[in-house]
Chains A and B, each alone.
Chain A
């Protein structure tokens, strides 16, 4: 039993927890800045980026894929800005134009090339494939202390761990500019807290996190990880640090609960199958948000609460 867990579940569970928590950390700022849909746009274009990098390099090496997805994210952001500024199109419409067009290009390239025969296909890109992260060397608990066995861990795990660390460092270092820029951009500019630079860096961090998480959980579910825990946390408290703490708790809970429900849930009802873990994690985070919307102590804005008193 324990070796089953180590081989099959340890790596996916950790990947899910870490990516979920790092997405949620950044998600707090996206939700506060009312920019949640940037996450939506970026995660949609990861697929075209990966397809393009495969067509150019001919390999599915992780580094090439990450760079491809990163380039696609940057191209999309530039395109959105260009459409917004030069075409004077309102921002959500500009986003809708840009990311759907690039996604369409990705699907077209994928279907017309041989890439669909290889590892990537549309479904994987959308749903992710947590279950494939198997640790063959995890035969028993001593393997956790065996460097040789640890080296055989699926490479996705160290990757999301590094990205998680990077995200945490970013939030700590950029804390004051992030908060000031989210609250009052004009003031931030006047004290030279570099709101524009902070903005761009935040979006780049979102892209990096989305791409790292993408491979494991799929692009659409990345959006759930960015938004749901942070949105739920927003309904729990009126202070920023507690909000971030709540978002981390919710992210952790949805990852663990979602993974366990998907992997073992059907078994409890006597069915010997497992369900999509990524999908279940998104569903659980949505259920948490539903409860927060219904019962969260701070679900109404401060103004609405005053009016109700």
Chain B
């Protein structure tokens, strides 16, 4: 059913290797026995219908959600020892944007692991944070209160915070949800430039029409793993039908899954 032995030895070096992960709330598994090895240097999407356990899978990978069984390795090690190599961008809606803080201060949170409690925030910390803000095109907003930002701007600030962490593996939970077209473009540019630098990115994604254009690998998930691999091999009408069940009609499927119809102009 799944190519186990092929990926077994790849687990040692994989930025994120999940084996046999089961998570349940009460008596209902939200993720069942999922194996997933994210290839190094890839830009991987996790795709699946609502309630398929996408965000939960990420949270379990970070040790935030409790798991019933399974093993999770980050660069071959337990998560705890590798936390500094990993950056996490939560869903925008998970925080209180009325919190009394500025854009710059949020980005500075990304430098948490480099600062001991007695160290004050120095000029080079601020410069670093400003660089990250510039990279997402938000440098002009550094001193704004975060509540004054639009949804897209908030998402870019979150991305800047992840950039500040200089992580090898960045995990993003729905970074394109509810953002404007300009932001979506800006974010994907940043993600692609990170990939060119050799970083690995894993991203929960909900827009099927852009999967081919944005990502090189994809994990199709609906509580169980439906398929995982390079987009061209795995992102097929058959697999999507299995992932989404009757929720996608045939015409939609054809359009999404054929490589030619939605080719990227990039």
- Given a CB threshold of 8 Å, the question of whether A touches B is answered with yes
Q: Which residues of A are interface residues toward B (Cβ below 8 A)?
A: 32, 172-176, 179-180, 182-184, 186-187, 189-193, 234, 237-240, 243, 301-303, 305-306
A32 touches B145 (CB 8 A): no
B112 touches A176 (CB 8 A): yes
Decide if B22 is an interface residue (CB 8 Å cutoff).
no
Ranked 4 nearest A-B pairs via Cβ: A302-B147, A190-B88, A238-B145, A186-B90
Q: Given the known A-B contacts A239-B145, A302-B147, are A189 and B101 also in contact in the complex, defined by CB atoms under 8 Å?
A: no
- Do A301 and B112 touch (CB < 8 A)? no
**Chain A residues positioned under 8 Å from B87 (CB to CB):** 190
Starting from the known contacts A176-B109, A243-B100, 6 additional A-B residue pairs (CB-CB under 8 Å) come to A187-B161, A190-B62, A190-B87, A192-B113, A238-B145, A239-B100
What 1/0 flags go to B218-258 for Cβ under 8 Å of A?
A: 00000000000000000000000000000000000000000
B61 to chain A, nearest CB (A): 10
User: By the criterion CB–CB under 8 Å, are A173 and B97 in contact?
Assistant: no
Rounded to whole angstroms, the CA-CA distance of A32 and B101 in the bound complex is: 11
Q: In the complex, what distance in Å separates the CA atom of A184 from the CA atom of B96?
A: 8
- Pick the contact of B165: A182, A191, A238 (CB < 8 A): A191
- Interchain CA distance A150-B99 in the complex, whole Å: 44
Measured CB to CB, the closest approach of chain B to A169, in angstroms, equals 11
**Cβ–Cβ contact A187 & B117, under 8 A:** no
- Inside 8 A of B51's CB, which chain A residues have their CB? none
Shortest CB-to-CB span from A187 to chain B, Å, is 6
Give the residues in chain A near B99, CB-CB below 8 Å. Answer: 32, 182-183
CA distance in complex: A32, B95 (Å): 11
Q: Would you call B100 and A234 a contact (CB within 8 A)? A: yes
In contact, A193 and B112 (Cβ under 8 angstroms): yes
Interface centre among A173, A176, A193, A301 (most CB of B within 10 A): A176
User: Is the CB–CB distance between A173 and B117 below 8 Å?
Assistant: yes
Q: Tally chain B residues at the interface, Cβ within 8 Å.
A: 34
Q: Considering the chains assembled together, what is the distance between the CA atoms of A15 and B100 in angstroms? A: 30
| B117 with A176: CB separation less than 8 A | yes
Q: Are A186 and B59 in contact (CB under 8 A)?
A: yes
Is B63 part of the contact surface with A, judged by Cβ < 8 Å? yes
- Complex Cα distance, B96 from A189, in Å, reads 17
Residues of B within 8 A of A183 (CB): 95-96, 99, 101, 106, 109
The answer for the CA separation of A172 and B62 in the assembled complex, in Å, is 28
- Contact yes or no, B63 A189, CB < 8 A: yes
A89 CB → nearest B CB, Å:
15
Interchain CA distance A175-B115 in the complex, whole Å: 12
- Asked if A302 and B94 make an inter-chain contact with CB atoms under 8 angstroms apart, the answer reads no
Q: Are A192 and B80 in contact (CB under 8 A)?
A: yes
B8 at interface by CB-CB < 8 Å:
no
Most buried by B among A184, A189, A191, A303: A191
State the Cβ distance, A6 to closest chain B Cβ, in Å. Answer: 39
With A187-B109, A190-B86 known as contacts, the answer to whether A174 contacts B98 (CB < 8 A) is no
> Quick one: closest A residue to B121, CB to CB?
A176
What residue in chain A is nearest B113 (Cβ atoms)? A191
A189: B residues at CB distance < 8 A: 62-64
Does any Cβ of A come within 8 Å of B102's Cβ?
yes
On chain B, the residues within 8 Å of A175 by CB distance are 117
Return 11 A-B CB contacts under 8 Å, by A number.
A173-B117, A179-B101, A179-B109, A183-B99, A184-B94, A189-B63, A190-B62, A191-B88, A191-B110, A302-B98, A302-B147
Taking CB atoms, residues of chain A closer than 8 Å to B165 are: 191
Task: With both chains docked as a complex, state the minimum distance between the C-beta of B107 and any C-beta of chain A, in angstroms.
Answer: 12
> B164 CB to closest chain A CB, in angstroms?
11
B148 is an interface residue with CB less than 8 A from chain A = yes
Closest CB in chain A relative to B69 CB, distance in Å: 20
Closest to A176 in B: B112
- Alpha-carbon distance A184/B80, docked complex (angstroms): 19
User: Which residues from chain B contact A301 at a C-beta distance below 8 Å?
Assistant: 98, 147
Instruction: List A contacts of B161 (CB < 8 A).
Output: 187
Assuming the contacts A32-B99, A189-B62, A189-B63, asked whether A180 and B145 have C-beta atoms less than 8 A apart, the reply is no
Q: Is B100 a contact partner of A180 (Cβ separation < 8 A)?
A: no
A187 to B159, CA, bound (A): 12
B83 at the interface (CB under 8 A from A): yes
B101 in contact with A180 (CB, 8 Å): no
Which of A186, A234, A306 contacts B94 (CB under 8 A)?
A186
Kindly name the residue among B101, B115, B165 whose own CB sees the greatest number of chain A CB atoms within 10 A. B101
Determine how close the nearest CB of chain B comes to the CB of A302; give it in whole angstroms.
Answer: 2
Nearest to B63 among chain A residues (CB) is A189
Cβ-closest chain A residue relative to B101: A240
Closest to A193 in B: B112
Let me know if A303 and B62 touch, CB within 8 A.
no
Contact residues, B145-174 vs A (CB, 8 A): 145-148, 161, 165, 171
B94 CB to closest chain A CB (Å) equals 6
* CB of A29 to closest CB in B, whole Å: 11
Bound Cα distance from A105 to B83, whole angstroms: 46
